[in-house]
Amino acid sequence: MMTASLSTPHRARDHKPYESQDRIILHFDYDCFYASVFENENPSLKSLPVGVKQKSILATCNYVARGKGVKKLMLISEAQKLCPDLVLVNGEDLTKFRDASKKLWGFLRSHSWNKRVERLGLDEVFMDVSDIISYNEQLLNPNSLAESFFQLSDQDPEKGFTFDATSLFGCTYPSQPSIQEETWGSPLYVRLLLSSHLAGYLRHKLEEDFGYTSTCGVSTNKTLAKLAGTKNKPKNQTTLMSLTGEVVQRFMDEHQIRKIPGMGFRTSHLVENHVLSRTSEAIPHDDEHSAKITTREVLEHPSMSSAVLEKVLGGPGTEHGIGLKVWNLLHGIDNAAVKEASDVPSQISIEDTYMSKPINTQAELLRELCSLSASLMRRMHVDLMDEDSTTESPESRKWLAHPKTLRLSTRTRSKLGTESQSRENFSRSSRSQPLPTFVFSLKEGPEMIAERLVNDAILPLFRRLHNERQGWNLALINICVTNMVLTGNEDGIGGGRDISVMFRTQDAKLKEFTVYDNSPQANPYVADASGLECMKQSPQEQSKQDSDIESVGWEEEDGYTHVCPLCGNTIPQFALPAHERFHALGE
Ligand code: TTP
Ligand code: MG
């Protein structure tokens, strides 16, 4: 049942927030990323339908497969029915995806002047190019627009590319913007035009030099850039022509609120319930009515305002000012900065899930802990050590940063008691302690150190988590090192700057844009699942939480993705029903 608001359109226009449009943000999303990594390794795959397998589902598939009806996160059996000649490749080891992601990010970063180039998960990058655009705006010669030159360096005037500045590059929203005469000369129009050509150039280079096609959104903030990019996929780009406030609002109005990054699953539900005049009871993820609620419907709801949203969304444990934040997002306003790139990850987290065969014995536990610990040590050597000295003897290499904290998290599975509740109950718990300094020794190999780490630190943490000697039913184990301290000198800890505070502050502001990769080797450049709540808290509260046990349903990881309580995989909002169906069918 729709509410009366739809028949009596109304808007509290006087409360419309304002945002300056000085920034230019590009949002890149590589097309069918994991599949492209395999295609680059083996170009003969390009013409075939390819699916990337992770356990029983497709993490992704290429566009040839998509043309045959195959979709991301589909069950493999379902995909094979639709496309019997689907070529399956195993995507469970994330190393090659991580390496490709780092390489592409490095390329984009090398074109940034302000170094605001932020990765989101492995295949998305935000780039704040405001400074490059301002510089080129000054250089534009109105008398020879068709033969313009875009300068990629403010030091070397020859470094750049030629372009035709009489028109924008790629697609625009609206598709045929009604450009008034005066808008041709408007600074924002010129900035968007220049940005569209820069985006086109960078996309071209990503394809030519590295073999990756991408989709790009161009706008004045992160939310708008990310949403704009989704308008024309794959291998394309869209510039949001936000020359008037009406264009931005029209653009936002069309979107279902669930699709707006930063809205969050729970937040969307509460707002949807309010608009549909429903109580706040849980609603199935695939509820059709809720899923269709658009920004327009929310804003046209009687007496809608940031104060009403604060009432609907606020309450114990919620972020202060959530009403205003959502109100702003619905108007396309997002002041979040693009994070300055860091060479060092905020933490490194390694995990595996054991859904079909939970861990129950000491022997299994020891084997898994040693294997995860060895992966962690290898990852620390790759991500936290000086790259330039890799060819020299291992002992001459230097640590760029030292993590100070070791955290062990586990998730157990246990059947709920009553028959009416057929789903299984999952709970996750964590314990932390200082990371022993012997892990930084370069005299022993990573495997030896990994074993010692298990005996001296990880097993004691495990015993603090689980009293029983066996029969834990472990469905997930995660080992994480965090609280990075940059090394100020080669002697290490204490000589450096604690960057964890910086990460916490940034992450708190930007958590809605953070994607959590919970696959076997988690993305080291973002905080992990258990870090999310910690970001809102002081270190004291964080350590308190470390010893709390939470019961989980679908865990909201950020505004866009969720951790499945059954397998621990990170699932985007749109794929929740499919993913639940996958579990309902059994593994
Ligand atoms: P996406 O950008 O969502 O997907 P994609 O790049 O494969 O396809 P598109 O062209 O639509 O952008 O995710 C990036 C990669 O992350 C994807 O290649 C596989 C991986 N992934 C998972 O492992 N699990 C998931 O649930 C999703 C959505 C993606
Ligand atoms: Mg992608």
> What digits encode the pLDDT tens for the residues 249-259?
999 999 999 89
pLDDT of 394 reads 63
- Least confident span in 146-150, 240-244, 279-283, 583-587: 583-587
Centre of ligand 1 to C-alpha 198, Å, is 25
CA–CA distance, 116 with 298 (Å, rounded to integer): 33
22-241 and 346-587, same CATH topology: no
Please state the rounded mean pLDDT for residues 470-491.
82
Please say if the pLDDT value at position 459 is more than 50: yes
Q: pLDDT digit string (tens) for 31-52? A: 999 999 999 999 999 999 999 9
CATH of the domain spanning 346-587: 3.30.1490.100
Q: Name the more confident of 375 and 497.
A: 375
User: Considering only CA atoms, which of 376, 366, 349, 416 is closest in space to residue 565?
Assistant: 416
- Identify the residue with better confidence: 265 or 101: 101
Q: Is the pLDDT of residue 582 over 60?
A: no
The number of the ligand nearest the C-alpha atom of 517 reads 1
Lowest mean per-residue pLDDT among 151-160, 172-181, 363-372: 172-181
Supply the pLDDT for residue 55: 82
Ligand 2 centroid to Cα of residue 256, in Å, is 20
**Residue burial 241-268, b: 16+ Cβ < 10 Å; e: rest:** bbbeeebbbebbbebbbbbbbbbbbebb
Name the closest ligand to CA 63: 1
Residue 540 Cα distances to 428, 533, 535, angstroms: 20, 13, 12
2 Cα: distance to centroid of ligand 1 (angstroms): 34
Nearest to 54 by CA among 89, 87, 91, 97: 91
Average pLDDT over residues 476-484: 92
Q: Per-residue pLDDT for 22 more than 60? A: yes
Q: What is the pLDDT of residue 269?
A: 87
Q: Which of 33, 71, 351, 563 should be mutated for ligand 1, with most atoms under 8 A from CB?
A: 33
Quick one: pLDDT at residue 556? 38
Domain assignments of the chain as residue spans, ordered by start: 2-12+254-330, 22-241, 346-587
Q: Characterize the bridge pairing of strands 148-151 and 424-434.
A: unpaired
**384-394, pLDDT tens digit by residue?**
887 654 455 66
Atom of ligand 1 nearest to the CA of 36: 18
**Ligand 1 centroid – CA 125 distance (Å):** 13
**pLDDT for the residue 367:** 95
Mean pLDDT of 289-299: 86
* Beta partners for residue 319, in sequence order: none
Mean pLDDT of the chain: 79
CA–centroid distance, 259 to ligand 1, in Å, is: 16
> Residue 279 has what pLDDT?
63
pLDDT band at residue 340, thresholds of 50, 70 and 90?
confident
Determine which helix (DSSP H) or strand (DSSP E) holds 99, and give its type and residue range: helix 95-110
Q: For residue 49, what are the contacts with CB-CB under 8 A and spacing of at least 6?
A: 61, 62, 64, 65, 67, 68, 70, 83, 85, 86, 87
Ligand 1: which residue has its CA nearest to atom 26?
571
User: Does residue 243 surpass a pLDDT of 50?
Assistant: yes
Higher pLDDT, 339 or 538: 339
Q: What percent of the chain has pLDDT over 90?
A: 54
DSSP 319: P
| pLDDT given for residue 519 in this prediction | 33
The answer to whether the CB of 257 falls within 8 A of the CB of 271 is yes
Helices (H) and strands (E) in the chain, counts: 21, 20
Q: Which residues are CB-neighbours of 223 under 8 A, at least 6 positions away?
A: 260, 261, 262, 329, 332, 334, 336
Q: Which of 234-248, 276-290, 550-564 has the highest mean pLDDT?
A: 234-248
Q: Where does 422-548 show beta strands of DSSP type E?
A: 424-434, 474-486, 497-498
Q: Is the pLDDT of residue 189 over 50?
A: yes
Higher pLDDT, 259 or 14: 259
pLDDT band at 578; cut points 50, 70, 90: low
Residue 223 has pLDDT above 90, yes or no: yes
430-447 pLDDT per residue, tens: 999 999 999 999 888 888
Ligand 1 centroid vs 52 CA: distance in angstroms? 10
Q: Tokens 């990054």 map to which residue?
A: 261
Give the residue, 346 or 69, on which the prediction is more confident. 69
d(CA 3, CA 271): 13
Which of 37, 38, 72, 353 for mutating ligand 1's site (highest number of atoms within 8 Å of CB)? 72
Position 159 pLDDT exceeds 80: yes
- pLDDT band at residue 121, thresholds of 50, 70 and 90? confident
Atom of ligand 1 nearest to the CA of 571: 26
Query: In this structure, what token pair is assigned to residue 457?
Result: 């630190």
Indicate which ligand has the atom closest to the C-alpha of 572. 1
Once rounded to an integer, what is the mean pLDDT over residues 57-83?
Answer: 96
DSSP for 100-145, please give it. HHHHHHHHHHHT-SS--EEEETTTEEEEE-HHHHHHHHHH--GGGG
Which residue has the least CA distance to atom 27 on ligand 1?
59
Give the residue ranges of DSSP H helices in 279-392: 288-291, 295-299, 306-313, 322-330, 362-383
Q: Specify the pLDDT at position 182.
A: 58
Which ligand gives the minimal distance to the CA of 233? 1
33 alpha carbon, closest ligand: 1
CA dist 402 and 435 (Å) reads 9
Give domain 22-241's CATH architecture.
2-Layer Sandwich (3.30)
Model confidence at 537, pLDDT cuts 50, 70, 90, reads very low
Cα 516 → chain centroid: 6
pLDDT mean over 183-191: 83
| Cα(33) to centroid(ligand 1), Å | 6
Q: How far apart are CA 95 and CA 103, in angstroms?
A: 12
Q: Which of 64-73, 355-364, 564-573 is predicted least confidently?
A: 564-573
Ligand nearest to the CA of 230: 1
| Residue bearing the CA closest to ligand 1, atom 5 | 32
Ligand 1 pocket: which of 30, 123, 235, 518 to mutate (most atoms within 8 A of CB): 123
| Confidence grade of residue 15 (pLDDT, cut at 50, 70, 90) | low
Decide: 457 and 465 in contact? Cβ < 8 Å.
no
State the pLDDT at residue 446.
85
Atom 12 of ligand 1, residue of closest alpha carbon: 31
The region of weakest confidence among 115-119, 283-287, 569-573 is 283-287
Residue nearest to atom 15 of ligand 1 (CA): 33
- pLDDT above 80 for 452: yes
Residue 60 CA to ligand 1 centre (angstroms):
6
Taking CA atoms only, the protein residue closest to ligand 1 atom 29 is 59
| pLDDT > 50? residue 511 | no
The answer to whether 526 and 517 are in contact (CB under 8 A) is: yes
pLDDT: is 353 or 127 the higher one?
Answer: 127
What is the rounded CA–CA span in Å between residue 295 and residue 37? Answer: 36
The count of C-alpha atoms lying within 13 angstroms of the C-alpha of 574, restricted to the half-sphere facing its C-beta, is: 9
C-alpha distances out from residue 62 to 120, 233, 540, 577, Å: 21, 13, 46, 22
Handedness of CA 558, 564, 570, 573 (dihedral sign): negative
User: What's the confidence (pLDDT) of residue 500?
Assistant: 41
- pLDDT at res. 330: 96
The residue type found at 449 is I
Q: Report residue 520's pLDDT band, with 50, 70 and 90 as the boundaries.
A: very low
Question: Does residue 566 carry a pLDDT above 60?
Answer: no
Please write the tens of the pLDDT for every residue from 395-404: 677 898 999 9
Q: List, as one string, the DSSP characters of 329-342.
A: HHTT---PPPPPP-
Assess whether pLDDT exceeds 70 at residue 61. Answer: yes
Q: Could you tell me which residues are beta bridge partners of residue 556?
A: 562
pLDDT above 70 (res 525): no
Ligand 1: residues with CB < 6 A are: 29-34, 59-60, 72-73, 123, 234, 519, 570-572
492 Rama sector, left if φ>0, alpha if ψ -120 to 50, beta otherwise: left
- Please give the distance, rounded to the nearest whole angstrom, from the Cα atom of residue 32 to the centre of ligand 2: 5
* Ligand 2 center–CA 375 separation, angstroms: 26
Counting from 1 in the atom list of ligand 1, the atom nearest the Cα of 519 is 23
User: What pLDDT is recorded for position 540?
Assistant: 31
pLDDT for the residue 262: 84
